Amino acid sequence: MAGISKTVVSLHPGKLEEVSKFIDSRSNLVTEIDGMIGLAVAVTGEDEITIIGVYESSKAAQAASDTVQKVFYDMASLMTSSPDRGVYSGVWFSK
| CATH number of the CATH domain containing 75 | 3.30.70.100
Q: Judge whether residue 78 has pLDDT over 80.
A: yes
- How is 13-78 classified by DSSP, letter by letter? TT-HHHHHHHHHHTTHHHHHSTTEEEEEEEEEETTEEEEEEEESSHHHHHHTHHHHHHHHHHTGGG
With respect to residue 73, please indicate whether it lies within any of the assigned structural domains: yes
Residues 24-28: what's their mean pLDDT?
88
With respect to residue 43, please indicate whether it lies within any of the assigned structural domains: yes
Work out the pLDDT band at 28, boundaries 50, 70, 90. Answer: confident
Work out the pLDDT band at 19, boundaries 50, 70, 90. Answer: very high
Work out the pLDDT band at 95, boundaries 50, 70, 90. Answer: confident
Answer for the pair 88, 58: CB distance below 8 angstroms, yes or no: yes
With respect to residue 93, please indicate whether it lies within any of the assigned structural domains: no
The number of distinct structural domains making up the chain is: 1
**65: domain range?**
2-86
With respect to residue 91, please indicate whether it lies within any of the assigned structural domains: no
